[in-house]
């Protein structure tokens, strides 16, 4: 159960990348709680090198909760507000390394004895190098040492005392699985652990080694969604790829369409908000509908180059999305699909599959929901399909919103035979679920 991503009704979570604690607290109340997001992943909250680039947050200099996210008391207030809204907070825990400095961090304290000595570039086919050499110069901690483990566990326990319910373990591949187990076993409460392990064939260290410690990122999902939605294969075949041989078990997998690294450095393979048309949008809608893994939604700021830090001196001010902050998690079809995933979680399987032999697909969720995805660049969907759902009029929650039992946009009528007529434009989607049943029609 401890290692199960879905076991404790984990629906979906959002990464509010570089958002300030104050704004995350507001967002929990305004958006995340009401739409049924299970949790929010926040940027690394520990003290980091003082630089404007986003990646400075991945260069810790102490475990004090301070930095551009806000103060310790603001962090605490955020966790409380989110908890009241029913939203857990997950911390991105940077524990494999400290900053790329000179192996001396008096505020912890760590001295040179607490670090590995290998500074050469990592050869990924060599396990020792992956786990003991400095990752891009970042001072690599001796995670096999009792003292270092204690210091890391103290940091995580401090966050647990502040109400944190889960951790992303940054650079988990660069720590021995047994080192992670030893650190996690020092935690004072059961929390959700997911380990960032980027799997690649031929490498010495593989994601499967980490499953016993908690959930693990399944990067195959990101690559697969990117591959199909960028039009490199017929979308109808995606179901034969997801969860096929060699994939993490669904319960062990954390999945995403893009993450903060790949949206910058891997855009050929990864869908991002920058993809033209609605490709990112429908890829995300697909991912939230498809019963595999525990999905994380990326929420970005607009950027031009890899290193560019967040707007407005690094804080998300005033909750204004649009000009500087992309806020993918607020796009109607994305936030409403989180609700869809919640309402359909009791039937975690695909039913009533339909496709046009090419890039148009539809599938149900055992009578609790149905989604249509059209990835054709020109052709529309105009089709009657069997949804398996109860008769009624449903709000299409990609193209409308339920308000006071009425739909302010498109509706879909399901007949007594479970059939419904869908019309979906090119690069578009439609979705209905038991919670979007409305009056009229």
Choosing from 136, 200, 384, 406, the residue that interacts with ligand LM2 (CB under 6 A) is 136
Residue 370: name the closest of 337, 409, 332 by CA.
Answer: 337
Task: For residue 139, state whether it binds Ca ion (rule: CB under 5 A).
Answer: no
Contacts for 197 with CB less than 8 Å, ≥ 6 apart:
172, 173, 205, 206, 207, 209, 210, 216, 217
Task: For residue 59, state whether it binds ligand LM2 (rule: CB under 6 A).
Answer: yes
Task: For residue 96, state whether it binds Ca ion (rule: CB under 5 A).
Answer: yes
Identity of the residue, 138 or 437, whose beta carbon is nearer to ligand LM2 in the bound complex:
138
In angstroms, what is the minimal distance from the CB of 317 to ligand LM2?
24
Contacts for 322 with CB less than 8 Å, ≥ 6 apart:
none
Instruction: Map residues 236-275 to x or -, x wherever contact with ligand LM2 holds by CB under 6 A.
Output: -------------------------x--------------
CB atoms within 10 A of CB 151: 19
Counting every residue written for the chain, the total comes to 441
Q: Which of 413-431 are b and which e, b meaning 16 or more Cβ less than 10 Å from the residue's Cβ?
A: ebeeebebebebebbbbbb
Number of residues that bind Ca ion (CB under 5 A): 4
DSSP 408: S
Q: Which stretch binds ligand LM2 (CB under 6 A): 6-14, 63-71, 129-137, 355-363?
A: 129-137
Choosing from 133, 141, 171, 373, the residue that interacts with ligand LM2 (CB under 6 A) is 171
Task: For residue 303, state whether it binds ligand LM2 (rule: CB under 6 A).
Answer: no
Q: Decide if 305 is catalytic.
A: no
Residues 137-166 that bind ligand LM2 (CB under 6 A): 137-138
Residue 277: name the closest of 221, 359, 336 by CA.
Answer: 359
Number of residues that bind ligand LM2 (CB under 6 A): 13
In angstroms, what is the minimal distance from the CB of 178 to ligand LM2?
19
| From ligand LM2, Ca ion, none, interface partner of 140 (C-beta below 5 to 8 A by class) | Ca ion
Q: What distance in Å separates the CA atoms of residue 400 and residue 409, rounded to the nearest whole number?
A: 4
Contacts for 290 with CB less than 8 Å, ≥ 6 apart:
242, 350, 363
Task: For residue 3, state whether it binds Ca ion (rule: CB under 5 A).
Answer: no
Choosing from 23, 140, 170, 396, the residue that interacts with ligand LM2 (CB under 6 A) is 170
Q: Decide if 196 is catalytic.
A: yes
Instruction: Map residues 181-200 to x or -, x wherever contact with ligand LM2 holds by CB under 6 A.
Output: ---------------x----
What SS3 class is residue 225? helix
DSSP 143: T
Strand partners, 295: 255
CB atoms within 10 A of CB 29: 15
67 token code pair: 């930095």
Q: What distance in Å separates the CA atoms of residue 213 and residue 203, rounded to the nearest whole number?
A: 20
Identity of the residue, 137 or 178, whose beta carbon is nearer to ligand LM2 in the bound complex:
137
Q: Which of 27, 170, 222, 275 is catalytic?
A: 170
Task: For residue 140, state whether it binds Ca ion (rule: CB under 5 A).
Answer: yes
Binding site for ligand LM2 (CB under 6 A): 55, 58-59, 94, 100, 135-138, 170-171, 196, 261
Residues marked active site are found at 170, 196
């Amino acid at each position: 159960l401890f290692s199960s991503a879905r076991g404790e009704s984990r629906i979906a979570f959002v990464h509010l990348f570089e958002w300030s604690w104050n704004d995350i607290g507001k967002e929990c109340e305004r958006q995340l709680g009401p739409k049924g997001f299970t949790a929010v992943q926040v940027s690394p909250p520990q003290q980091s090198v003082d630089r404007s680039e986003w990646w400075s947050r991945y260069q810790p200099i102490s475990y004090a909760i301070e930095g551009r996210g806000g103060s310790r008391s603001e962090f605490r207030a955020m966790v409380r507000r989110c908890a009241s809204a029913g939203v857990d907070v997950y911390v991105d825990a940077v524990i494999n390394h400290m900053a790329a400095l000179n192996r001396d961090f008096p505020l912890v304290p760590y001295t040179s004895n607490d670090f590995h000595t290998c500074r050469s570039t990592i050869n990924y086919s060599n396990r020792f190098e992956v786990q003991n050499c400095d990752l891009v110069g970042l001072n690599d901690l001796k995670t096999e040492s009792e003292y270092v483990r204690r210091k890391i566990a103290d940091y995580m326990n401090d966050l647990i005392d502040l109400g944190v319910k889960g951790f992303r373990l940054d650079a988990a591949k660069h720590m021995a699985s047994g080192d992670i187990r030893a650190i996690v076993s020092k935690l004072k409460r059961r929390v959700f652990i997911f380990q960032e392990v980027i799997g690649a064939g031929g490498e010495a260290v593989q994601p499967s080694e980490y499953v016993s410690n908690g959930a693990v990122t399944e990067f195959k999902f990101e690559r697969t969604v990117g591959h199909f939605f960028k039009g490199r294969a017929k979308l109808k075949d995606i179901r034969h790829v997801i969860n096929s041989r060699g994939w993490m078990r669904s319960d062990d997998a954390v999945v995403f369409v893009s993450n903060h690294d790949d949206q910058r450095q891997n855009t050929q393979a990864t869908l991002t908000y920058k993809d033209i048309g609605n490709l990112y949008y429908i890829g995300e809608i697909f991912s939230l509908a498809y019963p595999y893994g525990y999905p994380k939604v990326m929420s970005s700021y607009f950027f031009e180059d890899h290193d560019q830090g967040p707007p407005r001196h690094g804080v998300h001010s005033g909750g204004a999305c649009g000009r500087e902050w992309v806020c993918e998690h607020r796009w109607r079809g994305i936030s409403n699909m989180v609700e869809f995933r919640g309402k359909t979680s009791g039937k975690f399987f695909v039913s009533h599959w339909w496709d046009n032999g090419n890039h148009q697909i539809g599938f149900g969720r055992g009578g609790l929901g149905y989604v249509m995805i059209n990835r054709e660049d020109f052709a529309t969907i105009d089709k009657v399909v069997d949804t398996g759902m109860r008769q009624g009029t449903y709000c299409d929650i990609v193209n409308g919103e339920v308000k006071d039992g009425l739909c302010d946009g498109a509706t879909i009528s399901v007949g007594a035979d479970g059939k419904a007529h869908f019309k979906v434009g090119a690069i578009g989607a439609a979705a209905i679920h038991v919670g979007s049943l409305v009056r009229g029609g």
